Structures are given as C-alpha cells and as structure tokens.
Amino acid sequence: MGYRVAIVGATGEVGRAFLRVLEERNFPVDELVLFASERSAGKRLTFKGEEYTVRDLSKEGSFKGIDIALFSAGGSVSKEWAPKFAKDGAVVVDNSSAWRMDPDVPLVVPEVNPEDVKDFKKKGIIANPNCSTIQMVVALKPIYDFAGVKRVVVSTYQAVSGAGAKAIEDLRKQTKAWCEGEPIPPAQKFPHPIAFNVLPHIDVFFEDGYTKEENKMLYETRKILHDPDIRVSATCVRVPVFYGHSESVSMETEKEISPEEARELLKKAPGVVVVDEPKSNLYPLPIHAEGRDEVFVGRIRKDRAFERGLSMWVVADNIRKGAATNAVQIAELLVRENLI
Ligand code: NAP
Ligand code: 3JN
C-alpha cells in the first residue's frame, strides 16, 4: 500500500532533496502533491521519471486525502499551514523551528529517540530538529547511553546550503568574481562576504550574546535526550563550503570512557560511520559526506579540558541527514509502526 504525500517548499534546497530521498529510498508514494509560493506555481519537478506541477499553497482550501505532508518552507509557513494539513487528516513532518519546542509535538531523530514518534496525535505534527543538532545527537547518543554526558562544548562549521538556495548562489557568484578579479557582489543572505571568509553568526543574536541557532542546539538536545540538565554551549559558524556541516564536539562524561571504547560504540551505532585514522590523513570531510545519509565521526580523543572528557569531529550532509533524510526516516518510522 502506498501513501499520498505532499511537499510544501518543494522548489527549495530541502524540498528538492525530499524528492531525491523519497525516490532513492523507494518510499511508497501513491500520489504526490507539490506546493510552493505563487512565485513558483506552474514550475515542473521530476519524481521517478514523471513531471509534477508545483501548486501555489496560498490558493489551496482543502488538504483532504493527504496522508503525509513534508514541510520545508520556513517557520511562518509552517505555523500557518501545518495545522490546516493536520486538521484535514495528514501527519505533518516539519523541518522548521516553528513547532520544535512545543510540548505537544515530538522532536525526533530516528537513531536517537524513535519511541517519541508516536506522540504526534495531539497536534498531528512531528518536528525535525535543526541540522546541527541532528548530527551532534546521532554521534552523542551511544556515548550518552554508556557513560552519561554532563556538558558539551561545540563549534560548528556550517555549509552555505543550510541558508537555502540564495546562499548557495552567493558563495558561487562571490567565488567566481574573486577568481576573475571582479568586485565581490553583495551577499543576498549574509551580512558579510562569505567567499574566503568565516562568519561567527547564524540566525539572530540574543541579549546574552548567543544566537538562535546556538540556542536550538541546547534546547533541542535537551528535548531529544529527555535530559533537561545537559549543558550545551555552542558557537555556530558559517564557512564557505557548499554542502556538509562539520562540528568540533567536546564533552564531559559522568563516568570514564576511553577513546577506544567510544570508537567501538560509535562503530556499532546506527547511522554512524567512523573515519578515524588520522596518521593516514583519514578523518571526516564535508566533501566526502555530500550526498550521503550517515553521520561521519573521527578525531576521537581524550579532551584535555575536562576531568572525564572526550572530543570528536562530526560531519554530515546538512540537507540530507540534517533535513530531508531525517524527515523521510520519520515517515518510514510512521509506516513501520502502523501509525498512518
Ligand atoms: P530555500 O531553498 O530558500 O527554499 C524555500 C522554499 O520555501 C521554496 O520552495 C519556496 O518556494 C518555499 N516558500 C517560501 N515562502 C513560501 C510561502 N509563503 N508559501 C509556500 N512556499 C513558500 O530554503 P531551504 O533551504 O529549502 O529551507 C526551507 C526551510 O526548511 C527553512 O526556512 C527552514 O525552516 C527549513 N530547514 C531546516 C533545516 C534543518 O536544520 N532541519 C535545514 C534547512 C532548512 P518558492 O520557490 O515559491 O519561493
Ligand atoms: O543555517 C543552517 O545551516 C541551518 C538553518 C536552518 C534554518 C534556516 C532558516 C530557518 C532553520 C532551522 O531549521 O532551524 C530555520 C527555522 O525554521 O528557524
């Protein structure tokens, strides 16, 4: 049996990845309906060799008959439209931050807290975490279960694709202009040039000096691990990479765990690939993670700043595992658990 699937934000970076991931994983799609704004209405996108016409979401009145709606059109679209899909009977898997911290909405990473997926019935919405949180918790979970994790200090190196199609265009145009000796065109998405630069600024700043992206890493990690006491101090940084977020993750554990023990646990962990032979120059790299669904972990070593500390380097494709793949895995979980 197949399902009637809607994609909201189908023309975007994440929306197009939804189409690829649904096709590659052979998700049972009986019917597909694609939505975007009026700007893209009428555009055609391909799924399994067939063309589908994009519809203007704002012109739609009813969503009856849709089983699963995958949303990636930003927070305000999710806030307004996800409840309308849910009211008409769809289960919404939402990629924005709009619903993540709602106590009636589960926040799910299938390798970490699959049991939470069933708690969607109050609102009909399941939230997909932020990309930086997803890859970090997939790598933390086996260590957390074995040794407990009290605190995490993380710095991210985030690809421009996390900021959408226009940000990718910014990096491409600025790099080309720089290489050709032309003036660098102004960025559409960033407050400074991103080519040959590093910006310690993702999303908006708060009074305490942290950004919203950094807060997402703290509060989402607490919700996913059901641990209100875990401390996460994040510094989120944009780097001139097209696809793949990298993270330097240092943690203090409750009990002793050696790098060898951590490496063995991570090798067995679902969705994780250990790449950790530094003497042969083997460690995770965004260019190797691009197009892949796993989380890559390497540079596993004792952290020198904590009493019982461990450090590692974690890389994943932010548009796939960080967004589209995680959401499709949630849909697969709903099917496997007979929840739709
Ligand atoms: P993008 O490339 O800029 O695409 C945005 C998509 O949203 C386009 O399809 C756009 O349609 C559509 N859209 C915008 N306004 C709309 C409206 N009023 N009604 C209907 N559709 C509308 O951005 P993206 O990278 O795909 O990201 C989209 C959203 O996904 C983000 O804002 C974020 O909330 C979420 N996201 C989450 C993660 C994560 O960490 N899990 C990562 C990346 C993105 P048009 O073609 O018509 O403009
Ligand atoms: O910048 C990144 O690398 C990830 C960005 C994610 C993002 C971008 C725009 C709006 C989000 C998100 O998923 O948290 C949002 C949002 O919905 O708040």
Q: Which candidate in 179, 201, 226, 245 is catalytic?
A: 245
Q: For atom 4 of ligand 2, which residue has the closest CA?
A: 162
Q: Which run of H or E residues covers position 327?
A: helix 325-336
Assess contact for 124 and 90: CB atoms under 8 A.
yes
**Residue pLDDT, tens place only, 68-81:** 999 999 999 999 99
Convert the pLDDT of each residue in 152-206 to its tens digit.
Answer: 999 999 999 999 999 999 999 999 999 999 999 988 899 999 999 999 999 999 9
Q: How much distance in Å is there from the Cα of 234 to the middle of ligand 1?
A: 24
C-alpha 323 to ligand 2 mean position (Å): 10
Prediction pTM value: 0.97
CATH code given to domain 3-128+323-336 = 3.40.50.720
Which of 34, 37, 39, 213 for mutating ligand 1's site (highest number of atoms within 8 Å of CB)? Answer: 37
Task: Please state, as a whole number, how many other Cβ atoms lie within 10 Å of the Cβ of residue 87.
Answer: 13
Which tokens sit at 154? 């993380």
Q: If you take atom 1 of ligand 2, which residue's CA is the nearest one?
A: 162
Give yes or no: 245 in active site. yes
Is 131 in the active site?
yes
- In whole angstroms, how large is the CA radius of gyration of the chain? 20
Edge-to-edge order in the sheet of strand 3-8: 55-56, 29-36, 3-8, 68-71, 91-94, 125-127
CA distance 183 to 304: 44
Q: Please choose from 72, 94, 97 the residue to mutate so as to test ligand 2's pocket, defined by most ligand atoms within 8 A of CB.
A: 97
Element (H, E) at 220: helix 212-225
**Ligand 1 center–CA 148 separation, angstroms:** 36
Any residues with Cβ below 6 Å from ligand 1, and which? 9-15, 36-37, 39-40, 57, 72-75, 77, 95-96, 128, 130-131, 162, 164-165, 322-323
Can you give the residue ranges of every domain in the chain?
Answer: 3-128+323-336, 132-318
Q: Which residues of 200-211 are buried (b: 16+ CB within 10 A; e: fewer)?
A: eebeeeeeeebb
Q: Is the distance from CB of 174 to CB of 194 less than 8 angstroms?
A: yes
Q: Which of 52, 50, 84 is nearest to 69 (CA)?
A: 84
Q: Do the Cβ atoms of 294 and 321 come closer than 8 Å?
A: yes
Q: State the DSSP H helix or E strand holding residue 267, giving kind and residue range, or none if neither.
A: helix 259-268
- Strand, helix or coil for residue 34: strand
C-alpha distances out from residue 183 to 174, 177, 180, Å: 9, 6, 9
Burial class (CB in 10 A: 0-12, 13-18, 19+), 121: exposed
264-285, pLDDT tens digit by residue?
999 999 999 999 999 999 999 9
Write down the architecture of domain 132-318 according to CATH.
2-Layer Sandwich (3.30)
E strand or H helix that includes residue 18: helix 13-24
State CA 297 to chain mean position distance: 16
Using CA atoms in the order 87, 89, 91, 96, what is the torsion angle rounded to 10 degrees?
-30
Given the CA of residue 158, which atom of ligand 2 is nearest to it? 3
Please give the number of the atom of ligand 2 that sits closest to the Cα of 318: 3
Q: Are 175 and 182 in contact (CB under 8 A)?
A: no
Kindly give the confidence (pLDDT) of every residue in the chain, 340 residues in length, as a single tens digit, with 9 standing for 90 and above.
Answer: 799 999 999 999 999 999 999 999 999 999 999 999 999 999 999 999 999 999 999 998 899 999 999 999 999 999 999 999 999 999 999 999 999 999 999 999 999 999 999 999 999 999 999 999 999 999 999 999 999 999 999 999 999 999 999 999 999 999 999 999 999 998 889 999 999 999 999 999 999 999 999 999 999 999 999 999 999 999 999 999 999 999 999 999 999 999 999 999 999 999 999 999 999 999 999 999 999 999 999 999 999 999 999 999 999 999 999 999 999 999 999 999 999 9
